[in-house]
Amino acid sequence: MTLDPGAGANRAPARPNKNFHHIGSFEPELGGYLEEVTLAYETWGELDDAGENAVLVAHALTGDSHCSGGPSEAYKRGGWWDAMVGPGRSVNTDEYFVVCSNVLGGCSGSTGPASVAHETGYPYGMRFPVITIRDIVRTQKRLLDDLGVRKIEVVLGGSIGGQQALEWAVEYPDFVEKSVVIAANGALGPLGLGMSEIGRRAIMADPFWRGGDYYGEEKGPETGLAIARMAGMLTYQSAPGQWERFGREPASRPALYEEFGGRFEIESYLHYQGQDLAGRFDANSYLYLTRAMDIYDVGFGYASQEEAYERVDAEMLFVGISSDWLFPATEVRASAEKAKGAGAEAYYEEMESLNGHDAFLKDWDELRAAVEPFLDK
Amino acid sequence: MTLDPGAGANRAPARPNKNFHHIGSFEPELGGYLEEVTLAYETWGELDDAGENAVLVAHALTGDSHCSGGPSEAYKRGGWWDAMVGPGRSVNTDEYFVVCSNVLGGCSGSTGPASVAHETGYPYGMRFPVITIRDIVRTQKRLLDDLGVRKIEVVLGGSIGGQQALEWAVEYPDFVEKSVVIAANGALGPLGLGMSEIGRRAIMADPFWRGGDYYGEEKGPETGLAIARMAGMLTYQSAPGQWERFGREPASRPALYEEFGGRFEIESYLHYQGQDLAGRFDANSYLYLTRAMDIYDVGFGYASQEEAYERVDAEMLFVGISSDWLFPATEVRASAEKAKGAGAEAYYEEMESLNGHDAFLKDWDELRAAVEPFLDK
């Protein structure tokens, strides 16, 4: 396991802009206790004197705090939202103080299952408490408070990052001016729940998972995590997009697994995607974060989803993607309408794309067209 | 492993109508050699003197030869197409001689990877040759020849059974009067290929799979097969159908796996479906049959798909299902149009259903409405 400082071993290339902030102890809403929580984060731009020009960018499932920046040794592909976040970009770092933090439960520097528990001196593993999107948001709030932020101008993110953007607007109505919820909604549907569970089962079935206590062992559940990633990748794309990109072409890259009756390009693609994630992500974090995504319901703790939306003071933009089947556009739109029905100033935009759920990490022109008018308002 | 006679051990309840026919040696089209092939089959109705009133029913991936009959000890749910096949039904056993045979490569009595190889005295395991839909059809032809069938009035099936119905029309144009291809087309798309591969990877990652040589061992790759089934089941349904059936309801049945942050009904459903298949199906057969499904291309061995369709003399009916995403209705329709364009008398009907791919095993009224006019023509 290659993990960032703050979460265990450190064999990764230097990440000079990454900071580690201790927010102290934390009580997750569903129970348990974390003695000492660290959040890894990066910032771009300057916070103004009033502390009111902050933008919070929330990363997707396997993302990290590095949303902006060109390719480097540590980040070969650059920041995951570099096309959106930077000087003069949609999220203008000349104007805003941009914060992006690795989530609680993650494995890129923030406290998660791979972190050493104070109480025992060993990594948490599956003794890590179940966490929720609200827990992630609450820990982010502590970080922002400590950074001197008094108001979030915009919080935005896609997928599980979109769930966070939504929860921010509900949990801290006085703190958020605008919330941009991309390819996410008030509660994931059963198809998404099922796909998540297939991935978790593959990880937990891997004998090297060892009940979650694989840290320090030579081999961990990389095979299971790779299968989970394959299932995930399929849900992030669309069938028409896959026809265009892969069709039924034979595999062009060397086999990663023993041959069995040939290989199609889509299989090979999935194999390599699986291998890639298994080399950079912690399987237990995958379990905890997909579970947080699944159990998120904007109405949790309120009488109804409507009651949750009634709390919102921020202007909200929901962005659906036409070919997304993890968070179908119709379901994203339905959340926008529910928010609006509850009195929130909520808008809906739809990106036309064949790239499925992943379009918010690819189709920059369409994404800019969907969010810029709202950001510039 | 509980397997039928002809394929190994026999601990299953008696299946009085099941027959086992030795068709001799067989050479699969992609290579390899099978010294002695047995097909398990069942028949209903009487063959006329001319041998020309036969109907061949082709089963789906994990199905078997028992397409007709009420619930019994051996078949608690009865025949898998009992609503369609029987006296006075759409496929009228008072009129037709109906044959349904477990496919080559299967595990319900026909020769497959669990069968003992003559050469070695041990089960084939992964030494079983890669087989194709055409191989399945060619072995079925031998069975029908030996039964005295001189002409197939209708061949019909759904999913991988639909691929067989299509291949029959192409491979034996003089032998088939009508072919009904349900929820299948000329070649599976990349999303389906990817979902198949996730299942295969889960099986092959199971340490109890043992490279395919788990027969006779106390434990086989049941866990991997269960995960494969979970992925399969998701592709057989539709998102709107899952909302209606499962929504985000909590699980109502006892947990089969260790709890981790609660369970939704859809997860529990998948767990039980996985467990069920793992108790009745052979994991290696799952590997071989999904591979056969994946590599099927109606144009294989011809200059093009069009050239294959030009061979067809049978009247063809393609039936798509509106919410199917394994074989999307648009792709089923496209195959019908391609067949028609190549001169075949091909029709297309669409079943409106929320049940996804599985609708051909559930929505009897819609299925009858789609196929009966064609059968009665």
Chain A contact set for B189 (CB, 8 A) = 239, 242-243, 248
Whether residues A261 and B194 touch (CB distance < 8 A) is answered with no
**A127, A132, A201, A297: best mutation site toward chain B, by most B Cβ within 10 Å?**
A201
Q: Mean per-residue pLDDT for B62-86? A: 95
Confidence category of residue A5, pLDDT binned at 50, 70, 90: very low
In whole angstroms, what is the distance from residue A334 CA to residue A346 CA? 11
Please say whether the beta carbons of B201 and B341 come within 8 A. no
Which residues lie closer than 8 Å to A121 by C-beta, 6 or more apart? none
Catalytic residue among B21, B59, B271, B357: B357
Chain B contact set for A325 (CB, 8 A) = 239, 325
Confidence category of residue B13, pLDDT binned at 50, 70, 90: low
3-state secondary structure string, A164-189? Answer: HHHHHHHHCCCCEEEEEEECCCCECC
Residues 73-92 of A with CB under 8 A from B: none
At residue B179, what are phi and psi to the nearest 5 degrees? -130, 130
Chain B contact set for A264 (CB, 8 A) = 190, 193, 197, 294
Confidence category of residue B240, pLDDT binned at 50, 70, 90: very high
Segments making up each domain of chain B, as ranges: 19-189+297-376, 192-288
Smallest Cβ–Cβ distance between A191 and the set B126, B226, B242 belongs to B242
pLDDT tens, residue by residue, B345-358: 999 999 999 999 99
Whether residues A193 and B264 touch (CB distance < 8 A) is answered with yes
B198 inside 8 A of chain A by CB: yes
Query: Is B324 a catalytic site residue?
Result: yes
The model scores a pTM over 0.80: yes
Chain A contact set for B261 (CB, 8 A) = 30, 130, 288, 291, 294-295
The residue in chain B having the minimum alpha-carbon distance to the alpha carbon of residue A262 is B295
At residue A191, what are phi and psi to the nearest 5 degrees? -65, -45
Whether residues A202 and B206 touch (CB distance < 8 A) is answered with no
Structure tokens at B123: 């089960």
Q: Mean per-residue pLDDT for A128-134? A: 98
In whole angstroms, what is the distance from residue A65 CA to residue A63 CA? 7
What is the structure's pLDDT at B190? 97
Select from A334, A368, A326 the least CA-distant residue to A351: A368
Query: Is B110 a catalytic site residue?
Result: no
Structure tokens at A42: 């990066």
In whole angstroms, what is the distance from residue B96 CA to residue A1 CA? 63
CATH number belonging to domain B192-288: 1.10.1740.110
User: What is the interface pTM, i.e. ipTM, of the complex?
Assistant: 0.95
At residue B162, what are phi and psi to the nearest 5 degrees? -70, -35
In whole angstroms, what is the distance from residue A290 CA to residue A199 CA? 9
B285 three-class SS: helix
CATH: 3.40.50.1820, 3.40.1160.10, 3.40.50.280, 3.30.300.130. Which one for B19-189+297-376? 3.40.50.1820
Mean pLDDT, chain A, whole residue set: 95
Confidence category of residue B2, pLDDT binned at 50, 70, 90: very low
B302 inside 8 A of chain A by CB: no
In whole angstroms, what is the distance from residue A328 CA to residue A324 CA? 5
B239 inside 8 A of chain A by CB: yes
Distances A95 to A53, A368, B2, B90 between C-alpha atoms, Å: 8, 17, 68, 70
Q: Please tell me the distance in Å from A297's CA to the nearest CA on chain B.
A: 10
Range from A18-27, A71-80, B31-40, B337-346 carrying the lowest mean pLDDT: A71-80
Question: From the CB of residue A127, how many other CB atoms can be counted at a distance below 10 Å?
Answer: 14
Give the residues across from A321 on adjacent strands: A351
Please say whether the beta carbons of B229 and B223 come within 8 A. no
Whether residues A193 and B267 touch (CB distance < 8 A) is answered with yes
B201 inside 8 A of chain A by CB: yes
Confidence category of residue B12, pLDDT binned at 50, 70, 90: low
Whether residues B198 and A239 touch (CB distance < 8 A) is answered with no
What is the structure's pLDDT at B16? 76
Whether residues A257 and B126 touch (CB distance < 8 A) is answered with no
From its phi and psi, is residue A105 left (phi > 0), alpha (psi between -120 and 50) or beta? left
Residues 133-192 of B with CB under 8 A from A: 187-191
Whether the per-residue pLDDT at B14 is higher than 80: the answer is: no
From its phi and psi, is residue A125 left (phi > 0), alpha (psi between -120 and 50) or beta? left
Whether residues B198 and A247 touch (CB distance < 8 A) is answered with no
CATH number belonging to domain A19-189+296-376: 3.40.50.1820
**B128, B267, B288: best mutation site toward chain A, by most A Cβ within 10 Å?**
B267
Please say whether the beta carbons of A224 and B282 come within 8 A. no
Chain B contact set for A239 (CB, 8 A) = 189-191, 325, 328
Q: Mean per-residue pLDDT for B98-110? A: 98
Go through B137-167 and write b for each residue having 16 or more CB atoms within 10 A of its CB, e for each that does not: bbbbbbbbeebebeebbbbbbbbbbbbbbbb
Q: Mean per-residue pLDDT for B124-130? A: 98
State the pairing for strand pair B54-58/B97-101: parallel
